Structures are given as C-alpha cells and as structure tokens.
Amino acid sequence: MEERDLLKEPLTQTEIKQLAARLGGIRELVAPKRREETAKLTDAQLLKHVAENPNHLRRPIIDTGTLVVAGFTAEVRTRLTE
C-alpha cells in the first residue's frame, strides 16, 4: 500500500483526470465543502482549480487498483469491505 500526502505532493492534472474518469467525473473529486464555490466552473476549469488547490479535493482518495473511492463515508467503507 502506498500513502501520499496530497497537500505536500499534489496530484497532477493527468492523475486527476484518470481518477475522475474512474470515479464518474471531476466533480466527484471535489470536497463537499467546496462544491458550492466551484459549481460554476467548467470541468476544464475545475480540473485546473483542484490541481492548484489540492485542499479542495475530497479526501481520502483510495485506489485499490480495481476500485477508486473518495471521502470516508459509510458508503465508501462498505464498498471497501465488499
């Protein structure tokens, strides 16, 4: 298992695109508290925004190789234990 501090070592735009594609879109990677302020951004603008502001990403982002989940909700915990 690899752990990465996204604030010290931010994701690249390419990495964000890849994760977003597996999660169902870039907006799935935005922290819930940041959704309102980023709602008017296009997907391209949002990609640039989260790359430049890694603290606006929903964390943790867990990639098991076959599954990618973001956040630590009951649903995420359930999906990780299935």
Which residues constitute the domain of residue 75?
13-81
Which pLDDT band, with edges at 50, 70 and 90, does 20 fall under?
Answer: very high
Asked if 73 and 32 touch (Cβ cutoff 8 Å), the reply is no
Q: Provide the number of structural domains found in the chain.
A: 1
Is residue 20 a part of any domain in this protein?
Answer: yes
Average pLDDT, the chain: 93
Q: Which amino acid is at 56?
A: H
**CA–CA separation, 41 and 24 (whole Å):** 17
Q: Which residue has the tokens 């990618």?
A: 68
Are residues 19 and 43 in contact, defined by beta-carbon separation less than 8 angstroms? no
Please write the tens of the pLDDT for every residue from 60-74. 999 988 999 999 888
Whether 5 is covered by a domain: the verdict is no
6 is a domain residue: no
Cα–Cα dist 14/33, whole Å: 24
